[in-house]
Amino acid sequence: MKLLYIILFACSLPFCVFSQEVTLTGTIYNEEEDKPLPNANILIYSKETNKLITFGIADTFGSFVIRVSKNQARAATITFSCLGFHSIRQDLIGDDQTFRVMMKPDAIRIQEVKVKAPKIRSQGDTLVYNVGSYAKEYDKTIGDVLKRMPGIEVKESGQIHFNGTPINKFYIEGADLLEGKYGIATNSISSENISVVEVLQDHQPIRALEGLSLSDRAAINLKLKEGARHRWIHTLQAGMGFTPFLWSGQLTAMKFTKNLQTINTYKTNNTGTDVTREFQSFDLKEWANRSYRLPDYITLTPPLHWVSTESVNS
Protein backbone atom coordinates (compact mmCIF):
# COMPACT_ATOMS: atom_id res chain seq x y z
CA MET A 1 0.00 0.00 0.00
CA LYS A 2 2.83 2.37 0.88
CA LEU A 3 4.43 1.69 -2.53
CA LEU A 4 1.14 2.54 -4.26
CA TYR A 5 1.02 5.98 -2.55
CA ILE A 6 4.58 6.68 -3.67
CA ILE A 7 3.75 5.77 -7.26
CA LEU A 8 0.61 7.94 -7.28
CA PHE A 9 2.55 10.90 -5.80
CA ALA A 10 5.31 10.55 -8.41
CA CYS A 11 2.77 10.48 -11.25
CA SER A 12 1.13 13.65 -9.98
CA LEU A 13 4.39 15.67 -9.99
CA PRO A 14 4.42 16.54 -13.74
CA PHE A 15 0.88 17.83 -13.45
CA CYS A 16 1.87 19.99 -10.50
CA VAL A 17 4.86 21.43 -12.40
CA PHE A 18 2.80 21.96 -15.54
CA SER A 19 0.15 23.76 -13.57
CA GLN A 20 2.80 26.36 -12.54
CA GLU A 21 3.12 27.69 -16.13
CA VAL A 22 0.80 29.96 -18.07
CA THR A 23 0.48 29.97 -21.82
CA LEU A 24 0.25 33.19 -23.79
CA THR A 25 -1.05 32.90 -27.34
CA GLY A 26 -2.40 35.26 -29.94
CA THR A 27 -2.16 36.89 -33.36
CA ILE A 28 -0.73 40.28 -34.27
CA TYR A 29 -2.29 42.38 -37.05
CA ASN A 30 -1.45 45.47 -39.08
CA GLU A 31 -4.37 47.70 -38.05
CA GLU A 32 -4.31 49.73 -41.28
CA GLU A 33 -4.55 46.72 -43.58
CA ASP A 34 -6.20 44.32 -41.12
CA LYS A 35 -3.67 41.66 -42.14
CA PRO A 36 -1.42 39.46 -39.97
CA LEU A 37 1.91 41.10 -39.11
CA PRO A 38 4.79 38.62 -39.32
CA ASN A 39 8.06 38.74 -37.37
CA ALA A 40 6.81 41.05 -34.62
CA ASN A 41 8.58 40.80 -31.27
CA ILE A 42 6.84 39.67 -28.06
CA LEU A 43 8.75 40.59 -24.89
CA ILE A 44 7.89 39.68 -21.30
CA TYR A 45 9.33 42.05 -18.63
CA SER A 46 9.35 41.93 -14.84
CA LYS A 47 7.42 44.83 -13.31
CA GLU A 48 9.78 45.04 -10.33
CA THR A 49 13.15 44.98 -12.10
CA ASN A 50 12.10 45.78 -15.70
CA LYS A 51 14.39 42.93 -16.78
CA LEU A 52 13.51 40.72 -19.72
CA ILE A 53 12.07 37.37 -18.57
CA THR A 54 11.50 35.72 -21.94
CA PHE A 55 10.58 36.62 -25.51
CA GLY A 56 9.15 35.26 -28.73
CA ILE A 57 8.72 36.16 -32.41
CA ALA A 58 5.48 35.97 -34.39
CA ASP A 59 5.49 33.57 -37.32
CA THR A 60 4.63 34.42 -40.92
CA PHE A 61 0.92 34.39 -39.99
CA GLY A 62 1.44 36.80 -37.07
CA SER A 63 0.79 34.04 -34.48
CA PHE A 64 2.79 33.31 -31.34
CA VAL A 65 2.91 30.98 -28.32
CA ILE A 66 4.94 31.84 -25.21
CA ARG A 67 5.07 30.01 -21.88
CA VAL A 68 6.13 31.67 -18.66
CA SER A 69 5.98 30.64 -14.99
CA LYS A 70 2.81 31.61 -13.17
CA ASN A 71 4.67 33.41 -10.39
CA GLN A 72 6.52 35.58 -12.91
CA ALA A 73 3.36 36.21 -14.96
CA ARG A 74 1.60 37.67 -11.92
CA ALA A 75 4.08 40.55 -11.85
CA ALA A 76 4.98 40.98 -15.49
CA THR A 77 4.10 42.97 -18.59
CA ILE A 78 3.97 41.94 -22.23
CA THR A 79 5.21 44.23 -25.01
CA PHE A 80 4.50 43.89 -28.74
CA SER A 81 6.91 45.72 -31.05
CA CYS A 82 7.77 45.80 -34.73
CA LEU A 83 9.86 48.17 -36.85
CA GLY A 84 7.63 50.86 -38.33
CA PHE A 85 4.78 50.34 -35.82
CA HIS A 86 3.80 51.80 -32.47
CA SER A 87 4.73 49.47 -29.60
CA ILE A 88 1.96 48.12 -27.30
CA ARG A 89 2.50 47.25 -23.64
CA GLN A 90 0.07 45.80 -21.10
CA ASP A 91 0.03 43.86 -17.79
CA LEU A 92 -0.35 40.07 -17.56
CA ILE A 93 -3.04 38.64 -15.28
CA GLY A 94 -1.09 35.58 -14.18
CA ASP A 95 -3.24 33.05 -16.07
CA ASP A 96 -3.43 31.74 -19.63
CA GLN A 97 -4.29 34.52 -22.03
CA THR A 98 -5.11 34.89 -25.72
CA PHE A 99 -4.34 38.17 -27.47
CA ARG A 100 -5.60 39.85 -30.62
CA VAL A 101 -3.14 42.69 -31.14
CA MET A 102 -3.79 45.54 -33.59
CA MET A 103 -0.60 47.54 -34.25
CA LYS A 104 -0.70 51.02 -35.78
CA PRO A 105 1.94 51.98 -38.39
CA ASP A 106 4.41 54.61 -37.22
CA ALA A 107 6.60 56.73 -39.53
CA ILE A 108 10.30 56.26 -38.77
CA ARG A 109 11.97 59.55 -37.91
CA ILE A 110 15.58 59.69 -39.00
CA GLN A 111 17.84 62.40 -37.64
CA GLU A 112 19.40 64.79 -40.11
CA VAL A 113 22.57 63.37 -41.60
CA LYS A 114 25.23 65.45 -43.29
CA VAL A 115 27.38 63.67 -45.82
CA LYS A 116 30.75 65.25 -46.41
CA ALA A 117 33.02 64.34 -49.28
CA PRO A 118 36.56 63.41 -48.20
CA LYS A 119 39.15 66.14 -48.69
CA ILE A 120 41.41 63.86 -50.72
CA ARG A 121 40.73 60.48 -52.26
CA SER A 122 42.81 58.19 -54.43
CA GLN A 123 41.73 56.70 -57.76
CA GLY A 124 44.62 54.59 -58.96
CA ASP A 125 47.48 56.97 -59.81
CA THR A 126 45.19 60.00 -59.51
CA LEU A 127 44.68 62.08 -56.38
CA VAL A 128 41.33 63.88 -56.26
CA TYR A 129 41.13 67.04 -54.12
CA ASN A 130 37.67 68.27 -53.12
CA VAL A 131 37.76 72.03 -53.78
CA GLY A 132 34.99 72.77 -51.29
CA SER A 133 37.12 71.36 -48.46
CA TYR A 134 39.91 73.88 -49.07
CA ALA A 135 38.07 76.94 -50.41
CA LYS A 136 37.55 80.05 -48.26
CA GLU A 137 34.94 82.79 -48.63
CA TYR A 138 37.56 85.37 -49.55
CA ASP A 139 39.13 83.30 -52.36
CA LYS A 140 39.05 85.05 -55.71
CA THR A 141 40.35 82.34 -58.04
CA ILE A 142 41.18 78.64 -58.10
CA GLY A 143 44.83 79.62 -57.70
CA ASP A 144 44.08 80.77 -54.14
CA VAL A 145 42.68 77.32 -53.31
CA LEU A 146 45.53 75.39 -54.95
CA LYS A 147 47.97 76.99 -52.49
CA ARG A 148 46.24 75.24 -49.57
CA MET A 149 46.16 71.74 -51.05
CA PRO A 150 48.72 69.32 -49.58
CA GLY A 151 51.59 68.53 -51.93
CA ILE A 152 50.73 71.40 -54.28
CA GLU A 153 52.84 74.55 -54.27
CA VAL A 154 52.23 77.70 -56.31
CA LYS A 155 55.39 79.72 -56.84
CA GLU A 156 55.48 83.52 -57.00
CA SER A 157 55.92 83.20 -60.74
CA GLY A 158 52.65 81.25 -60.89
CA GLN A 159 54.35 77.95 -61.73
CA ILE A 160 52.78 74.94 -59.98
CA HIS A 161 54.86 72.23 -58.30
CA PHE A 162 53.65 68.90 -56.99
CA ASN A 163 55.82 67.27 -54.33
CA GLY A 164 58.59 69.75 -55.18
CA THR A 165 58.60 69.04 -58.94
CA PRO A 166 57.03 71.28 -61.63
CA ILE A 167 53.93 69.83 -63.28
CA ASN A 168 54.18 68.96 -66.96
CA LYS A 169 50.56 69.65 -68.01
CA PHE A 170 47.60 71.72 -66.85
CA TYR A 171 44.21 70.53 -68.14
CA ILE A 172 40.69 71.90 -67.86
CA GLU A 173 38.09 69.16 -68.33
CA GLY A 174 40.87 67.08 -69.89
CA ALA A 175 41.68 69.73 -72.51
CA ASP A 176 45.19 71.19 -72.83
CA LEU A 177 43.83 74.58 -73.85
CA LEU A 178 46.52 76.84 -72.42
CA GLU A 179 49.55 74.61 -72.90
CA GLY A 180 52.22 76.12 -70.63
CA LYS A 181 50.41 79.39 -69.95
CA TYR A 182 48.15 78.06 -67.24
CA GLY A 183 48.61 81.19 -65.11
CA ILE A 184 45.78 82.65 -67.19
CA ALA A 185 43.44 79.98 -65.75
CA THR A 186 44.64 79.89 -62.14
CA ASN A 187 44.34 83.68 -61.87
CA SER A 188 41.03 84.01 -63.75
CA ILE A 189 38.76 81.01 -63.06
CA SER A 190 36.61 81.30 -59.95
CA SER A 191 36.94 78.46 -57.44
CA GLU A 192 33.14 78.42 -57.19
CA ASN A 193 32.96 76.81 -60.64
CA ILE A 194 35.45 74.02 -59.89
CA SER A 195 34.32 70.75 -58.31
CA VAL A 196 37.60 68.87 -57.87
CA VAL A 197 41.28 69.21 -58.71
CA GLU A 198 42.83 66.01 -60.04
CA VAL A 199 46.55 65.35 -59.75
CA LEU A 200 47.64 62.80 -62.35
CA GLN A 201 50.82 61.32 -60.90
CA ASP A 202 53.67 60.15 -63.18
CA HIS A 203 51.76 61.63 -66.09
CA GLN A 204 52.93 60.91 -69.62
CA PRO A 205 51.64 63.79 -71.80
CA ILE A 206 52.54 62.07 -75.08
CA ARG A 207 49.72 59.64 -75.78
CA ALA A 208 51.82 57.46 -78.07
CA LEU A 209 54.10 56.73 -75.11
CA GLU A 210 51.39 55.96 -72.56
CA GLY A 211 52.19 52.66 -70.86
CA LEU A 212 55.62 52.56 -72.50
CA SER A 213 57.43 55.44 -70.88
CA LEU A 214 56.70 56.85 -67.43
CA SER A 215 57.19 60.43 -66.36
CA ASP A 216 58.47 61.61 -62.99
CA ARG A 217 56.19 64.65 -63.11
CA ALA A 218 52.49 65.11 -62.45
CA ALA A 219 49.71 66.91 -64.31
CA ILE A 220 46.73 68.83 -62.95
CA ASN A 221 43.19 68.64 -64.29
CA LEU A 222 40.36 70.96 -63.21
CA LYS A 223 36.88 69.41 -63.21
CA LEU A 224 33.98 71.85 -63.48
CA LYS A 225 30.84 71.56 -61.41
CA GLU A 226 27.87 70.05 -63.22
CA GLY A 227 26.08 73.39 -63.41
CA ALA A 228 29.13 75.07 -64.94
CA ARG A 229 29.53 72.69 -67.88
CA HIS A 230 28.31 73.32 -71.41
CA ARG A 231 27.37 76.94 -70.78
CA TRP A 232 29.02 80.33 -70.68
CA ILE A 233 30.47 81.22 -67.29
CA HIS A 234 31.09 84.86 -66.48
CA THR A 235 32.96 86.26 -63.49
CA LEU A 236 33.52 89.92 -62.68
CA GLN A 237 35.88 91.39 -60.10
CA ALA A 238 36.26 95.11 -59.54
CA GLY A 239 37.80 97.41 -56.98
CA MET A 240 38.33 101.15 -56.59
CA GLY A 241 40.24 103.41 -54.21
CA PHE A 242 40.87 107.11 -53.66
CA THR A 243 43.79 109.44 -52.85
CA PRO A 244 45.28 108.69 -55.27
CA PHE A 245 42.55 107.33 -57.52
CA LEU A 246 43.15 103.58 -58.09
CA TRP A 247 41.21 100.87 -59.80
CA SER A 248 41.43 97.17 -60.59
CA GLY A 249 39.01 95.14 -62.67
CA GLN A 250 38.72 91.73 -64.28
CA LEU A 251 36.09 90.15 -66.53
CA THR A 252 36.34 86.48 -67.49
CA ALA A 253 34.08 84.47 -69.80
CA MET A 254 34.66 80.80 -70.54
CA LYS A 255 32.87 77.80 -72.00
CA PHE A 256 33.82 74.13 -72.23
CA THR A 257 31.95 71.76 -74.51
CA LYS A 258 32.97 68.78 -76.62
CA ASN A 259 33.63 70.96 -79.65
CA LEU A 260 34.56 74.26 -78.02
CA GLN A 261 36.96 75.22 -75.24
CA THR A 262 37.45 78.93 -74.77
CA ILE A 263 38.64 81.37 -72.10
CA ASN A 264 38.37 85.12 -72.61
CA THR A 265 39.66 87.46 -69.96
CA TYR A 266 39.98 91.23 -69.75
CA LYS A 267 42.01 92.84 -66.97
CA THR A 268 42.78 96.43 -66.19
CA ASN A 269 44.39 98.24 -63.26
CA ASN A 270 46.61 101.14 -62.30
CA THR A 271 47.84 99.58 -59.05
CA GLY A 272 51.14 98.35 -60.46
CA THR A 273 50.12 94.69 -60.68
CA ASP A 274 51.78 93.18 -63.74
CA VAL A 275 49.23 90.79 -65.27
CA THR A 276 51.61 90.05 -68.15
CA ARG A 277 53.25 87.52 -65.83
CA GLU A 278 50.20 85.32 -66.48
CA PHE A 279 51.27 85.04 -70.13
CA GLN A 280 54.51 83.33 -69.10
CA SER A 281 54.76 79.78 -70.35
CA PHE A 282 55.99 77.01 -68.04
CA ASP A 283 56.29 74.53 -70.90
CA LEU A 284 59.95 73.51 -71.12
CA LYS A 285 59.69 72.78 -74.85
CA GLU A 286 58.35 76.26 -75.55
CA TRP A 287 61.17 77.79 -73.57
CA ALA A 288 63.61 75.81 -75.70
CA ASN A 289 62.41 76.65 -79.20
CA ARG A 290 59.92 79.53 -78.76
CA SER A 291 58.08 78.01 -81.71
CA TYR A 292 54.59 78.82 -80.51
CA ARG A 293 53.07 81.76 -78.68
CA LEU A 294 49.50 82.53 -77.76
CA PRO A 295 48.36 85.87 -79.19
CA ASP A 296 48.99 88.63 -76.65
CA TYR A 297 47.19 91.94 -76.94
CA ILE A 298 48.69 94.51 -74.60
CA THR A 299 48.34 98.28 -74.60
CA LEU A 300 50.49 100.44 -72.35
CA THR A 301 49.56 103.84 -70.96
CA PRO A 302 51.66 106.08 -68.68
CA PRO A 303 53.50 104.37 -65.78
CA LEU A 304 51.29 102.43 -63.32
CA HIS A 305 48.39 102.70 -65.74
CA TRP A 306 47.91 100.02 -68.41
CA VAL A 307 45.30 97.72 -69.84
CA SER A 308 45.69 94.15 -71.06
CA THR A 309 43.45 91.54 -72.62
CA GLU A 310 43.95 87.87 -73.38
CA SER A 311 41.82 85.65 -75.60
CA VAL A 312 42.37 81.91 -75.99
CA ASN A 313 40.29 79.59 -78.15
CA SER A 314 40.65 76.07 -79.45
Say which CATH number the domain at 44 has. Answer: 2.60.40.10
Kindly report the average pLDDT of the chain as a whole number: 77
Q: Are residues 166 and 274 in the same domain?
A: yes
Q: Are residues 91 and 124 in the same domain?
A: no
Instruction: Judge whether 13 lies within some domain.
Output: no
Instruction: Judge whether 84 lies within some domain.
Output: yes
Q: Are residues 144 and 55 in the same domain?
A: no
pLDDT grade for 207, boundaries at 50, 70 and 90: low
Q: Structural domain tally of the chain?
A: 2
Q: Are residues 169 and 55 in the same domain?
A: no
User: Given a cut of 90, is residue 61 above it in pLDDT?
Assistant: yes
Give the domain range for residue 146: 120-313
Q: Are residues 50 and 153 in the same domain?
A: no
User: Given a cut of 80, is residue 16 above it in pLDDT?
Assistant: no
Q: What percent of the chain is modeled with pLDDT above 90?
A: 26
User: Across residues 180-206, what is the average pLDDT?
Assistant: 83
What pLDDT was estimated at residue 294? 47
Q: Are residues 153 and 258 in the same domain?
A: yes
Mean pLDDT check: name the lowest of 46-55, 65-74, 184-193, 297-306: 297-306
What pLDDT was estimated at residue 40? 93
Q: Which of 72, 103, 134 is a domain's end point? A: 103
Read out DSSP for the chain? Answer: -HHHHHHHHHHHHHHHHHTTEEEEEEEEEETTTTEE-TT-EEEEEETTT--EEEEEE--TTSEEEEEEEHHHHTTEEEEEE-TTB--EEEE--SS-EEEEEEEPB-PPP---------SEEEETTEEEEEHHHH--TT--SHHHHHTTSTTEEE-TTS-EEETTEE-SEEEETTB--STT-THHHHTTS-GGGEEEEEEETT----GGGTTTS--SS-EEEEEE-GGGTTS-EEEEEEEEETTTTEEEEEEEEEEE-SS-EEEEEEEEESSS--GGGGG----HHHHHH------EEEEE-STT-EEEEEEEE-
pTM: 0.50
Q: What is the pLDDT of residues 224-276, one digit of tens each?
A: 888 777 677 666 666 777 767 776 776 777 677 766 777 777 777 777 666 66
